[in-house]
Structure 1
Amino acid sequence: MSTRLITPLDKYIAGEFTRIFSVTIMGFPVLVFVIDLVDNLRKYQEKGLTAKALALSYLYWIPDTLFMIMPAAVLFATVFSIGTFTRYSEITAAKASGISFYRFIAPIVVMATFAMGLDLVFSEVAPPANAERLKLLAGTSSNAMDDRYNFAFASDEGRVYRVYTLSVREKTLNDVEIEERGGPRRPGLLISAKRGHWTAQRGWTLQSGVLHVIPNETADLAVSFDSLVDRRLKETPQELRATERDPAEMRFAELTRFIKALERSGADVNTLKVERMLKIAIPVTCLIIALFGAPLATSSQRGGAAYGIAVSLATTVFFLVLIQLTKAIGGKGLISPDMAAWIPNLLVGSFAIILLARVRT
């Protein structure tokens, strides 16, 4: 028996998997776009979107679509390639040559791992593309939606900021009020300013305001200022506008900072925590779904292509339903949001272990 790490059989199996995987990963986005266009064409027309803007929005949507359908593409490629090997008795021939089923599917596991890495890349590429797509579909320019009004923000340092107007494009604040509660050894602070401006070098500079130092409930020392640098407000204008952004528009690190900011303000962030963890859990599904689909496909010799399509579609729908249940369970705080995001993988992984244990090697 050959002792080479990569054998001609490995190349053959990997090639068959890659062929089906490539066709699936190119065909699924087209199907998604056609369905979206049919469902929303009238809405797009009412917004006055041009054909060019609509086509560009679908171009921006490609990374997010690939991120979501990557596990399904791996499943289709696994089921159809293993199904083909089974129908033509190639797996039986490999077993007769001393190659176990687990060694036979090793190239598929390697390719699924590669797909997992690729999906992790898409999870980081998709958010900025999604942001541009949403702007296009809203009929706005890239500089629009930069203002935010009448909001409060709690900083890392324990200060509460109340802002009347934020302009991300101009990097300014208008009518700012800052409150910092005092403690046993330090006085409270209350700062009001007409304007604030952000630069990368200095951070936020407040202008035309009054600083109140409140050592106790009866004393109040007020000092007027023309300019005051607030080094405790470390968030950029884009981060201060973050509550208007969708989780799909933020990378993992951005979503983490966003969640922390909302937690400091006392907001419920359970659903967002589930969304954040899904950015990792969905790519890992590529590997788990391959281990699930490989033994399942060995029983497809009679059903042929129809069986493969049915199994793949049913599993995909089941997984999507699980994700929605995951968001609901984690969002309600019934279990840890991070754990909730892994429920689909845990269930599918458990089935995969059972099927792999029962397969004839």
Structure 2
Amino acid sequence: MKLIYRYLLGKLLLPLGCILTGFTLLYVIYDMVDKSSDFIEHDFPAVAVFRYYALQLPSFLTLIIPAALLLGVLYSLARLSRHHEITAMRATGISIYRLAGPYLVVGLVASAATFLINERYAPDAAWRAEQLMAYHESDPDERSEVYFAAALPLKLPRRNRDWFVERFDTRDYTMHGVTMTQQHPGGSATEYETQRALWIDGRWWFMDVTVREFDADGNLKGAPEFALQKEMTRLTENPRDFLSVIKPTEFMSAAELRHYLRRNPQLSDEVRARKRTDLMHRLATPWVCVIVVLLGIPVGAHTGRQGVFAGVATTLLFFFGYYLCQLTGEALAKKELLDPVAGAGAPVLIFLVIGAALVYRMR
């Protein structure tokens, strides 16, 4: 049985890898031709062009993995069915459901990989790619400013802390001109004013720092304290807290969006609905890999009898039908006509049920 599973996986993974590679090359070539005038006009070095597409690759992979997986499943099963290999395997007593097992495993692994890419790499990499383009399209004297955020406020009511950062370097998270105020029970406060703050080994280090204590009436208590450097061991903020203020939400992961919504309870209902829908979209999207496998198995396994074009057309109809339902549901959710969970999650649930029913009905 394990030998058959390895054989089926080999029949799927090889065309899947070829399709992914082909789609990636087509994307890079098309986009490079589209942006060639910009690259030439702004004198992009070859290294910058390579880095730009390397940064764009994670976002592109999350888009093409479902389509590539669908075509890979159809191609693999069509070849097996055409050569009567599925019939031979079933004649030995192996059920069609057990033969579908390796494909479902690949679908689950692809879903997990898509979620990981979406959560850990794609949003930040896409943002870095935008910064890289802006850097080379800017005037030489202003290029360094692309990576800096100015006049950055950060209010953390739950931690009773307020920050103001004059300049934040998004590359290494160095902050310049920092004022941090810690409120204490009873109304007193401690103010830290530092010329530079560094993020080192998971902690903030304040350089050239001045510490002032204030009473409940806002009066200075005693003389200020000075230190060349101070390790801020009690601070729980990390660069993500500041990036959530700087980054546009389209470049945020699901975790960053959750953090953004928790940190901004004052958002209007309309804005909150849009952001919650974006959050649910990021959580629901990876499941499309399982959906395409469930839709592709019954159609691909019978293409030998029904005809290749009929099978592919039927599956593509389901495939694009899913995306139509997803876009419609999310549009309604963003207009507050549907709950974001229903708008983004219902299409996934519906097509998972449809796919499972199609597989169950296989004979």
Match in the other structure for 2:44? 49
> Equivalences for 1:88-237 in 2 at 5 Å?
88-123=83-118, 124-140=120-136, 145-155=146-156, 156-167=158-169, 171-174=174-177, 176=179, 178=181, 180=183, 186-187=186-187, 189=189, 191=191, 193=193, 195=195, 197-198=197-198, 200=200, 203-204=205-206, 207-208=209-210, 211-214=213-216, 219-223=217-221, 225-227=224-226, 233-237=235-239
Q: Is it true that 1:286 corresponds to 2:282 in the alignment?
A: no
Size of the aligned set, in residue pairs, is 347
- Classify the secondary structure of the residue corresponding to 1:295: helix
Contact kept in structure 2, 1:80 and 1:305, CA below 8 Å: no
- Partner residue of 2:62? 67
Q: Which blocks of at least 5 consecutive residues in structure 1 are unaligned?
A: none
Give the match for residue 349 of structure 2: 346
The residue type equivalent to 1:130 in the other structure is A
CA distance in 1, matches of 2:233, 2:267: 23
CA contact (8 A) 1:54 1:137 kept: no
Opposite residue 172 of structure 1, the aligned amino acid is M
Q: Within 2, Cα distance between the matches of 1:65 and 1:305?
A: 28
Deviations 1:198-229 (A, max 9, x none): 45466447845754423xxxx44223524487
Whole-angstrom CA distance in 2 between matches of 1:312 and 1:100? 22
| Overall identity of the aligned pairs, in % | 21
What letter matches 1:242 in structure 2?
S
**What amino acid is aligned across from residue 225 of structure 1 in structure 2?**
P
Task: Report the equivalent of 2:74.
Answer: 79
Higher helix proportion, which one?
A: 2
Counterpart in the other structure of 1:295: 298
Alignment deviations for residues 230-283 of structure 1 (CA, whole Å, 9 cap, x no partner)? 76653245642432225575565555545544x367585554555455555433
Structure-1 residue corresponding to 2:242: 240
Could you tell me how far 1:350 is from its partner in structure 2? 1.7
TM-score, normalised relative to structure 1? 0.75
Q: Give the SS at the match of 2:135.
A: coil
SS in 1 for 2:61: helix
Shift in Å at residue 134 of structure 1?
A: 2.7
Is the contact between residue 80 and residue 308 of structure 1 (CA under 8 Å) also seen in structure 2? no
Higher normalized contact order (CA 8 Å, seq sep 6+, divided by chain length) = 1
Looking at structure 2, the residues matched to 137 and 50 of structure 1 have their Cα atoms a distance apart, in angstroms, of 12
Question: Counterpart of 1:23?
Answer: 18
After superposing the two structures, state which structure 1 stretch, 27-36 or 158-167, moved more: 158-167
Q: Using the alignment, how far apart are the partners of 1:110 and 1:246 within structure 2?
A: 35
Q: CA RMSD in A?
A: 3.9
Q: Secondary structure at the match of 2:146?
A: coil
